[in-house]
Amino acid sequence: MPLLDAGGRFVADRFHRFNSGEATDHPCVLVSLADLPAVLAVRGDQEIGVEIANTVEIAALAPHFDALALIGIAFPAYADGRGFSLAKRLRRDGFTGTLRAIGPLIADQFAYALACGFDEVELPEANAARQPAEHWVKAAAAFSATYQRGYAREASILDQRRAARLEGRNG
């Protein structure tokens, strides 16, 4: 399915979705959580990604963080915001690989997804067809700064105010 990178470009998906029983010799395989232990046990030097529901306990995944190149979090509906919190927790708990949002997101959620730690968005064909890349780029830039601290984006308004105060004091 169409894949949008953090810059809002549609790019080729290097991951191959693995079906149980298949050979795992593709260089980048994306597997289900159920298949993960078996795939990890026989893996060669491929990159492994796992696709998870937005209700998965992080404890189930944390032991595999180092072995995982990608975690894909399913958004069953664009209005289901659990994936944002799960992404934030995965980042906090030390996952440094690629985080992918998978589902019918809308362009207006792109900035939120990036701020919560996602690197890319995998969309259903129809949704990508309606929302060309320029919509995602524009929507992501809707706010030049926002208020929340501690999210993965440029300096928040609070931090910019703080910087201005320090500058005023030193200048």
Chain residues that interact with other proteins, rule: CB under 8 A: 78-82, 84-86, 88-89, 92-93, 106-109, 111-112, 115-116, 130-132, 135, 138-139, 142-151, 153, 157-158, 160-162, 165
SS3 4: strand
Residue with smaller CB distance to other proteins, 67 or 137: 137
Residue with smaller CB distance to other proteins, 1 or 129: 129
151: left (phi over 0), alpha (psi -120 to 50) or beta: beta
Residue with smaller CB distance to other proteins, 11 or 145: 145
* Amino acid of residue 13: D
**Shortest distance (Å) from residue 97 CB to other proteins:** 20
**Shortest distance (Å) from residue 125 CB to other proteins:** 15
Residue with smaller CB distance to other proteins, 68 or 88: 88
Q: Which residues of 62-90 are buried (b: 16+ CB within 10 A; e: fewer)?
A: eebeeebbbbbbbbeeeeeeebbebbbeb
- 120-122 and 3-4 as β-strands: parallel, antiparallel, unpaired? antiparallel
**Shortest distance (Å) from residue 81 CB to other proteins:** 3
SS3 131: coil
**Shortest distance (Å) from residue 27 CB to other proteins:** 33
